[in-house]
Amino acid sequence: MMTERSGGVTKRLLEKLLNDQQRRAERERKLPFAEKLRILDRLQQERRSQETEQG
Amino acid sequence: MAIADVLKVLHDLKQDGAVRDYMIFGSVAAMVHTRPFYTRDVDIGVTVASDQEYLTVFGRLAALGRVDGHAIVINDTPVELFPVDISPIIRDAIDHAIRKRVEGVMVKVAPPEHLLLEALRVNRSQDKGRVFMLDDVVDRDKLRALFGRLDDDRTLRRRYEALTGKAP
């Protein structure tokens, strides 16, 4: 059972996580297009490797 | 970089006159305006005057890779090539395209407002997420102007309102 104190910690942690996520999203949004394409290249290579492993 | 290689191929085709004009559309274009995310292929709209011209462009690109279904795979990257005239929104987008430089090559990219409208027009379940993603980054005045110009029967506006719970 969550006490008021533990509920407060959880709420603060959640707010921090959400704020961190928002900041990361904003940072990624502002990346140069070329950098975004490099990230996409990497994601596509990873997906292809996974598909190859799964046969 | 595989996708940049595809863009360089298209740039070269345009330089030698094989392609009149082209533009990045779909998920990769959305990524210009939002966070990077996984997508399987690159959608490219090309300006062509006839079906024959489209087939010629398709053939030129196919010669540089391999055909896999509707796509042309170049350096492991599937490219979906389509004429910009398949949609008045895409046709309008190439006239208002944003220019981006990638590895020394200048490419045209569809604006976020056009991408949002096209997502509403196609209206697949996977496009609904894209509407929300793009709604965060569009210019609201440009979006409203686009609804005014390209949504005669207000179908897209109704879809937008149903999805987002607000007017454009």
Q: Do B102 and A33 touch (CB under 8 A)?
A: yes
Q: Which two tokens stand for residue B126?
A: 């996977």
The residues, ordered by sequence, that sit 6+ positions from A15 with a Cβ below 8 Å of its Cβ are: none
Cα–Cα distance, B155 to B82 (Å, whole number):
24
Set of chain B residues whose Cβ sits within 8 Å of the Cβ of A50: none
Q: Cβ of B36 and A34 within 8 Å?
A: no
B31 DSSP assignment: H
How far apart are the CA of A52 and the nearest CA of chain B, in angstroms? 13
Chain centroid, CA B58 distance in Å? 16
Q: Check: CB of residue B32 under 8 Å from CB of residue B98.
A: yes
Q: What is the pLDDT of residues B72-92, one digit of tens each?
A: 998 888 999 999 999 999 999
Binary contact (A34, B39; C-beta < 8 A): no
Helices B155-164, B140-150: crossing angle, 10 deg rounding:
140
pLDDT in tens, A7-53: 667 888 999 999 999 899 899 999 999 899 999 989 988 888 888 88
- The C-alpha atoms of residue B17 and residue B13 are separated, in whole angstroms, by 6
Q: B81: helix, coil or strand?
A: strand
